[in-house]
Amino acid sequence: MTLWSGRFDTEPDPAAFDFGVSFGFDRALFEDDVTGSLAWAEALAAGGVLAKRMRRRSRRARSHPR
């Protein structure tokens, strides 16, 4: 039995299962991925590529995660 059993008339496409296989691995990398993205935003801002407003937004997001 799957999470969506009974909700649809046909079986889900096997690609849907393939898509979800990496979720555990993705979750393990989540914090490092976010840290790297924030560091990249800082580098872009320091190089004048990222607007100051966006730099402030990324810093605020880091300070107040949802």
Is residue 4 within 8 A of residue 20, CB to CB? The reply is no
pLDDT tens per residue, range 16-57: 888 888 888 888 998 898 889 888 988 998 999 988 888 888
In a domain, 2, yes or no: no
* Residue-level pLDDT at 62: 72
* Residue-level pLDDT at 14: 83
Q: Is the pLDDT of residue 8 over 80?
A: no
pLDDT band at 15; cut points 50, 70, 90: confident
Amino acid at 31: E
In a domain, 43, yes or no: yes
pLDDT band at 60; cut points 50, 70, 90: confident
In a domain, 9, yes or no: no
In a domain, 55, yes or no: yes
The CA-CA-CA angle for residues 57, 61, 63, to 5°, reads: 115
Phi/psi zone of residue 2: left (φ > 0), alpha (ψ -120 to 50 degrees), beta?
beta
**Which domain does 65 fall in, by range?**
38-66
Domain count, the chain: 1
DSSP 4-60: TTTTSSSPPPHHHHHHHTTHHHHHHHHHHHHHHHHHHHHHHHHTT-S-HHHHHHHHH
